[in-house]
Each structure stands twice: as structure tokens, then as C-alpha cells.
Homo-oligomer: A and B are copies of this chain.
């Protein structure tokens, strides 16, 4: 299904100047409506181009003139968002094509995924119109999110306006919105996300080709339920993964999952063993759930492109150190024993008894001040074997101090100073630092801790430090990074 005749104008898809939104409410209608909601969201994102709302009743919506039809729009169109009932979609799409739109996203559902002949027929009509010269994203999707231009998903979730280096392709609209939400607080910033739902036209294979060459995209992430053409896809992902990491979350590997896929995006799932083997062959990063997908995306986006074979672990609590070693070993990552002289130097900054300097470094208690941690991390980086440092910061324990001092946990937890110090050490040593920031106090009595940790995470993220809830999440992510760059390095040799 690769179209050779008219080259796809991706610039008009991701950075359109003139966007029609077909299916907005007319002023005064209180009912929730996808089209209106998207329009408001795109405006709120600060989209700089022209927004052209369409509704047969005309009028004014959100301060904009509403055209009674696509035909009524003067001049041309770059892109269209179609949010009308499924039976009206073909005629609207055809009108957009005639108006010169390079592409349209169809957020409406009610096509092949509902399993009726009517739905399948409507989908067939869309395919035929697309073949005449308009690229279609969808139907049954949430469309395009491009923070740089200001395009955003249906129905208009509150997403980040910051642009970044991670691209995401997803058959699932829910997964697109979820990942965008999670990325927002985890510090994953997106170049673009495309939710393509039933994927009748523009879908994973072509988008992979595009993203492999997109200079704004450093990491490609995909949620796949089924694929259009297996061989084309194989070539595309193989070629993309040679250039940059491609993370794949494959849904529908079980028999029940395949059944669920059929009623979700009307795709064929595919066998678990075949998928695993294909993903391994092409050196894709295979993940099992959205948490893992987000965690590895963060590491691939923020860590320099290399392997991290040995690490230092600086943290509070003996058991945390013990478990850190076990987890690291099971991912083939070493936590080398520090030389005696280095241990002695590190020990001079830590309380005794209760601390341990072997690596992992047990700092003895959660209240060791950032300036001492700075010395410890600077010293640990001197071990030439250490490629990366992980600090386990138990800031939630400051709640006890806050109580004793009659202050708030936000006032006493030194996360600002810690973030500053960690950035300084990272810059001075050239070795990345990951922060593990668990929250064991998530009850209703500890909302102040949740708030402080949200602020702390934001601070760390703004200082360019990846943050994970748990040590084993960080290690698994580094394990993926290592595997990808190891194989890539071997192939390029």
C-alpha cells in the first residue's frame, strides 16, 4: 500500500497553516462535542495557523466564523480534522481532498471496528477517496499531537507544549493520550505523536520511514496492535532501528488479546513467538507494558547514546543497596567495589556507624545534606569503571523532620539544592546521573509528601536528570539502552 505517485506532504500534516475542523458545535450548544473540544484545545496550545471551523448551521464559534461547508472555505486547506458522524465522513473527506488538503485526521468512530457491513463499507469509501490523493489518519483515532505547531489530540487533553525528541505512533488513541500525559510529568517531551486508529491509509510503516529521517526525532516509540503489510513493516523498522532506537509495545500477542484487537482497531494481531523473533532480529526495544515503555523512552531520550556497563549507587538504606546489586546483576550491569582509598575518602563525608562505602554507598540516613552528597558523587565518579551514577533519594522521610521542626515537608526537603548539586556533578564528571525517588507515603494523610515529590521531580527533570519511582525501573531501562547500543555497535563494526 505504499503510494508512490504524490509524495506525502508531512510538513502540512505536522505544521499546517490552514486547518479545517469539521463538526464543531454552533455557539450556544452546551453539549460536549469532539470537534469543538479539539478546536478549543488547538487554540489553547497556541496554534499559529488559521483555524477554519465547519458546521452546516454556520454562525460563530469561539470567536471564529463557522463555514457551512468545506466547500465554502475560501482559498485552500492544508489539513482537516473530521469529527462528524461516520455516515457523513466520506463526503466531508472528498470535499477536503478537492479543497487541496494534504491530509485529514478522522476522529469519528463507527467503521470496521464495530463489525457491521455498514461500518466496513464506509471504511472502504474512505480508502478509495484517500487513493485519489489525500492522506488519511484514522478513522477511530485521536489524531496528531505536535507540540511545536500546536496541533493536539481529540478530544483535547491538557498536554505539554514543550517539544522534544520522542515520537510515538499508536493504533490506540487511549494509549496516545495516556503516554502524552505520563510523559508530561516524567519529563518525556515529544516531537510528534500520531494516533492512527483503524489506520486505513497513513500508518506505521510509512510513518516509520518518515520518523527515521526526521531530524527532530531521536527515539521512535510504537504501540502496535496489527500491521498493514508485514514485509514492508519489517524493512521499515529494520532500517529505522539502524538509525535510532525504536521501542515497540506490541498488543494482542495472546489469543484473547487478538480477539480484543479485532474489536478495538480491527487489526490482525500475530503470533507471540514470531513477533519476539522479529523484534530481536531488527534490534527493536521490546517492552511489555506502558510503564516500561515510558521508562525506557525516558532513558533513551535523556542519556547519551552509549552503553552503561558499570554504575555507582548512592542511597539510603542497606536493603536498598542489597536489592540494587541483585537487580543490576540480573540486567548484566556491574556495581564495582570501590578501591579502599576511594572508600576512605567517601566515608569522610558520611555519618558513622550506619553508613557503608563499598558501592552501593549506604549514606547512613536520609538526611545527609546535598553538599555532602556532592562530595560522595564526585568521588564515586573518579572510579574509571563507573559509566553512570544512580542516587536513591528518600526525600519522603523529611516529613518526620518537618514535624519536629514545625515546618512543612516542602520547606525542609532540600530538593532544589540537590537538583543543583547533581547537575553540577554531572557536568563536572561527564557521567550521567539518574535519580530514584520512591514515594512510600501515598495515603490521604501524606498528600503534602506527594506534592513535595511532584515539585522535586519537576526540579530534577528541569535540571536534565531522569527520575524513576523505583530502582528496578531505572535498571531495566538502562538494560534496554545497553542492549540496543550493544547490538547497534556490533552491527556497525
Contacts and interface: CB of A to CB of B under 8 A. Distances in A.
A322 B441 contact: no
Interface stretch (A74-82, A296-304, A442-450): A442-450
Interface centre among A323, A325, A329 (most CB of B within 10 A): A323
B329 A257 contact: yes
A253 interface: yes
Interface string A317-342: 11111111111111000110100000
A91 interface: no
A147 interface: no
Nearest to A292: B472
A322 B174 contact: no
Contact of A443 (B32, B114, B362, B458): B458
B251 A172 contact: no
A265 B318 contact: yes
Interface stretch (A18-26, A96-104, A179-187, A481-489): A179-187
Q: How many copies does the complex hold?
A: 2
B447 A327 contact: no
A316 B264 CA distance: 11
B225 A322 contact: yes
A114 B353 contact: yes
B318 A264 contact: yes
A223 B319 contact: yes
A260 B361 CA distance: 9
Nearest to A225: B322
A46 interface: no
A316 B172 CA distance: 12
B288 A325 contact: no
A252 interface: yes
Contact of A110 (B86, B252, B257, B353): B353
A268 interface: no
Contacts of A450: 447, 450, 454
A64 interface: no
B334 A256 contact: yes
Contacts of A114: 352-353
A252 B322 contact: yes
A256 B328 contact: yes
B322 A264 contact: yes
Contacts of A322: 172, 225, 251-252, 257, 260-261, 264
A254 B330 contact: yes
A56 interface: no
Dominant SS at the A interface?
helix
B319 A172 contact: yes
Given A157-B400, A172-B319, A251 B454 contact: no
Nearest to A404: B32
A362 B318 CA distance: 44
A175 B319 contact: yes
A133 interface: no
Interface in A155-182: 155, 157-158, 170-172, 174-175, 178, 181-182
Nearest to A197: B318
Contact of A325 (B257, B321, B328): B257
A432 B172 CA distance: 30
Nearest first, the 9 closest Cβ-Cβ pairs linking A and B are: A264-B318, A254-B329, A185-B443, A172-B319, A257-B325, A256-B325, A174-B317, A251-B322, A263-B356
Given A109-B353, A260-B321, 12 more contacts: A158-B445, A174-B320, A175-B317, A181-B441, A185-B444, A225-B322, A251-B326, A252-B322, A257-B322, A257-B325, A260-B322, A260-B325
30 contacts: A113-B353, A114-B353, A171-B319, A172-B317, A172-B319, A172-B322, A174-B316, A175-B317, A182-B440, A185-B441, A225-B319, A251-B319, A252-B322, A254-B328, A256-B335, A257-B326, A259-B325, A259-B358, A260-B360, A260-B362, A263-B362, A264-B318, A264-B319, A264-B321, A264-B362, A288-B472, A289-B327, A290-B323, A291-B470, A447-B454
